[in-house]
């Protein structure tokens, strides 16, 4: 049997992830997180923050909440249900930084927490920064 | 020992199983085999401060139980052979250091228990010593940390993923005085059918299992029906199906006697383990809790224990390499 034939056999025996159910759960969970964000934004606006500050406070609140739930061991359970619903919003970013920080505490605060904190989120920061530089150059050259 | 065929030997003076012991975690204890384990540890840290030490502690406990059953201590051992999933097999070396015994560390990923057993049996039959310990263990949390993502990282697993068993098993082999004996063994060759998905170990390992089983049966001149049971280590449900189909193409039908330690150790309906259990501790603990007792009580006469291993590393996975796999078969008979 060739590798290609075997690969087809494996595919025939393997159930795929339930794509539509996963999408629906992600949509619901992700949507709820956004509703929570909007609720918080209205609250901060009501408390007197301007639009920019309210937006920042929403981000800060969601990052904090996700970090807290990660530390309490709850986030992972929600994410198991929600999938991309918790991964895509800023909550996923928070979880991806806090979870390695917790995991590698046993290797020390410098060589463990400090060094490993961004093993999951690192690429987002690297390529996010790179993409914004490119966007900035395009803006400077063509749209200014 | 006598060479039957390349890779397969029959032992001239079959080494006997003097005692065995296993220790598993809470989730394994809640599984279908729960009542059979010697020790169930509810604390996943096993009183230690990190996962790596906890894993070591599980193997340490299994070894203590095993030696306790034989009423001997570390200084009576001629050799300890063992391994685990951690880098440089640190869980095993830390567990074994307290014994003060000569030691050989082995790595065969989830096939480690079979590798340890074959090494131990061959050395006893070859006259190396009187009492040799074979052990293996794994821990869900240290395996996740090393091979996948941090524990609290929120993600979903595909249906083909398997759950690393927290647990360990240890078997003491000697020249005489046991109720079961190791009669033959086949050391497998690496089989790599190009599977690259680290979340599909069953699919990757099934061809290695099929290859070793076919070689062993030819080597010893047996048919599947000659065995009360043929155990794979941790193929999981998908890997089991694939292995049976591959063997059928070779005109070998093991479906009537085939069991899989990874399929048995958890209840897949209620314990959320997807395709089943995995890890060195899976085959090792099921061997000690279920397979050996069935032979010792005489309910089974002849069993083939074939643990499978996916020899990947986090680095090779990221580099997109396919997964080299292996399976070793150990034939165990009641005395």
Q: Is the pLDDT score of A75 beyond 90?
A: yes
Nearest CA in chain B to A116: B150
Give the pLDDT of residue B68: 98
Cross-chain CB nearest to A10 (options B145, B155, B195): B195
Mean pLDDT of A80-99: 94
| Confidence band for A144, pLDDT divided at 50, 70 and 90 | confident
> Is the domain of B276 the same as that of B314?
yes
Q: Which of B63, B65, B66, B24 is nearest to B41 (CA)?
A: B24
Cross-chain CB nearest to A14 (options B154, B200, B249): B200
The domain boundary residue, chosen from B142, B174, B206: B174
Q: Is the pLDDT score of A143 beyond 90?
A: no
Cross-chain CB nearest to A76 (options B145, B153, B203): B153
Give the pLDDT of residue A85: 94
> Is the domain of B7 the same as that of B155?
yes
The domain boundary residue, chosen from B152, B174, B196: B174
> Is the domain of B95 the same as that of B143?
yes
| Confidence band for A23, pLDDT divided at 50, 70 and 90 | very high
Give the pLDDT of residue B96: 97
Contact in structure between B47 and B23 (CB atoms under 8 Å) = no
Mean pLDDT of B313-333: 97
Mean pLDDT of A69-83: 95
Instruction: Give the A-side interface with B, CB within 8 Å.
Output: 1, 3-4, 6-7, 9-10, 13-17, 22, 70-71, 73, 75-76, 78-80, 82-83, 86-87, 92, 95-96, 98-100, 102-104, 106, 120
Mean pLDDT of B153-177: 96
> Is the domain of B7 the same as that of B146?
yes
Q: Which of B139, B150, B151 to mutate: most A Cβ within 10 Å?
A: B150
Give the pLDDT of residue A46: 97
Chain B closest CA to A111's CA: distance in Å? 15
Q: Is the pLDDT score of B199 beyond 90?
A: yes
Exposed (0-12), middle (13-18) or buried (19+): which is B76, by Cβ within 10 Å? Answer: middle
> Is the domain of B168 the same as that of B86?
yes
Q: Is the pLDDT score of B31 beyond 90?
A: yes
Q: Is the pLDDT score of B41 beyond 90?
A: yes
Q: Is the pLDDT score of B248 beyond 90?
A: yes
Show Cβ contacts of residue B6 under 8 Å, excluding neighbours closer than 6 positions: B215
Mean pLDDT of B60-85: 97
Show Cβ contacts of residue B234 under 8 Å, excluding neighbours closer than 6 positions: B110, B162, B165, B201, B202, B205, B260, B261, B262, B276, B277, B278, B279, B282, B283, B307, B308
Instruction: Give the B-side interface with A, CB within 8 Å.
Output: 49-52, 145, 149-156, 158-160, 193-195, 200, 203, 207, 238, 241-242, 245-246, 249
The domain boundary residue, chosen from B125, B141, B174: B174
Interface contact flag, A13 B242, Cβ < 8 Å: yes
Show Cβ contacts of residue B220 under 8 Å, excluding neighbours closer than 6 positions: B4, B8, B10, B184, B331
CA distance A90 to A98: 13
Mean pLDDT of B238-248: 98
Percent of the residues in chain B that have a pLDDT greater than 70, as a whole number: 100
- Write out the residue range of the structural domain in which residue B207 sits: 180-334
> Is the domain of B237 the same as that of B125?
no
Mean pLDDT of B52-63: 98
How confident is the prediction for chain A on average, in pLDDT?
95
> pTM score, two decimals?
0.95
Mean pLDDT of B129-153: 96
CATH number where B330 lies? 3.40.47.40
Residues of A in contact with B314 (CB under 8 A): none
Residues of A in contact with B200 (CB under 8 A): 10, 14
> Is the domain of B135 the same as that of B189?
no
Q: Is the pLDDT score of B235 beyond 90?
A: yes
Mean pLDDT of B68-86: 97
Interface contact flag, B156 A10, Cβ < 8 Å: no
> Is the domain of B217 the same as that of B140?
no
Give the pLDDT of residue A88: 85
Residues of B in contact with A75 (CB under 8 A): 152, 154
Interface contact flag, A80 B207, Cβ < 8 Å: no
Interface predicted TM-score (ipTM) of this complex, two decimals: 0.91
> Is the domain of B87 the same as that of B219?
no
Percent of the residues in chain A that have a pLDDT greater than 90, as a whole number: 94
CA distance A72 to A68: 6
Give the pLDDT of residue B312: 96
- The structural domain count of chain B equals 2
Nearest CA in chain A to B195: A7
CA distance B176 to B17: 8
Mean pLDDT of B269-273: 95
- The phi and psi torsions of B21 (rounded to 5 degrees) equal -155, 150
| Confidence band for A40, pLDDT divided at 50, 70 and 90 | very high
> Is the domain of B195 the same as that of B320?
yes
């Amino acid at each position: 049997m060739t590798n290609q034939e075997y690969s087809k056999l494996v595919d025939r025996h393997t159930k795929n992830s339930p794509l539509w159910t996963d999408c629906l759960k992600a949509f619901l969970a992700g949507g709820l997180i956004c509703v929570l964000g909007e609720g918080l934004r209205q609250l901060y606006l009501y408390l007197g923050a301007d639009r920019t500050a309210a937006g920042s406070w929403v981000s800060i609140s969601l990052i904090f909440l996700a970090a807290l739930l990660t530390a309490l061991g709850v986030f992972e359970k929600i994410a198991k249900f929600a999938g991309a619903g918790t991964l895509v919003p800023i909550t996923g970013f928070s979880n991806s930084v806090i979870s390695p920080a917790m995991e590698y505490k046993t290797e020390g605060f410098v060589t463990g927490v400090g060094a490993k904190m961004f093993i999951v989120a690192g690429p987002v920061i690297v390529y996010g920064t790179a993409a914004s530089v490119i966007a900035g150059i395009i803006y400077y050259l063509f749209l200014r | 020992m006598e060479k039957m065929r390349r890779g397969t030997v029959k032992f001239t003076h079959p080494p006997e199983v003097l005692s065995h012991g296993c220790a598993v975690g809470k989730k394994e204890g809640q599984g279908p085999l729960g009542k059979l384990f010697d020790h169930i540890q509810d604390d996943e840290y096993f009183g230690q401060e990190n996962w790596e030490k906890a894993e070591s502690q599980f193997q340490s406990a299994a070894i203590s139980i095993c030696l306790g059953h034989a009423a001997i201590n570390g200084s009576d051992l001629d050799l300890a052979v063992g391994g685990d999933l951690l880098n440089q097999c640190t869980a095993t070396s830390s567990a074994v250091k307290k014994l003060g015994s000569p030691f050989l560390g082995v790595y065969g990923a989830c096939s480690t228990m079979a590798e340890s057993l074959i090494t131990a049996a061959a050395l006893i039959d070859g006259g190396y010593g009187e009492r040799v310990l074979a052990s293996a263990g794994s821990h869900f949390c240290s395996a996740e940390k090393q091979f996948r993502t941090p524990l609290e990282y929120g993600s979903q697993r595909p249906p083909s993923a398997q759950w690393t068993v927290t647990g360990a098993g240890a078997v003491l082999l000697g020249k005489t005085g046991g109720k079961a004996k190791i009669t033959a063994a086949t050391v497998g060759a690496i089989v790599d059918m190009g599977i690259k998905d680290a979340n599909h170990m069953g699919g990757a390992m099934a061809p290695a299992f099929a290859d070793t089983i076919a070689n062993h049966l030819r080597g010893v001149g047996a048919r599947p029906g000659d065995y009360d049971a043929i155990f794979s280590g941790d193929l999981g449900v998908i890997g089991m199906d694939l292995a049976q189909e591959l063997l059928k193409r070779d005109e070998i039908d093991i479906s009537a006697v085939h069991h899989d330690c990874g399929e048995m150790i958890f209840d897949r309906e209620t314990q959320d383990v997807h395709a089943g259990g995995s890890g060195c501790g899976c085959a090792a603990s099921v061997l000690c809790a279920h397979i050996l007792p069935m032979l010792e009580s005489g309910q089974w006469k002849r069993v083939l224990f074939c643990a499978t291993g996916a020899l990947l590393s986090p680095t090779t996975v990221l580099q997109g390499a396919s997964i080299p796999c292996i399976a070793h078969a150990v034939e165990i008979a009641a005395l």
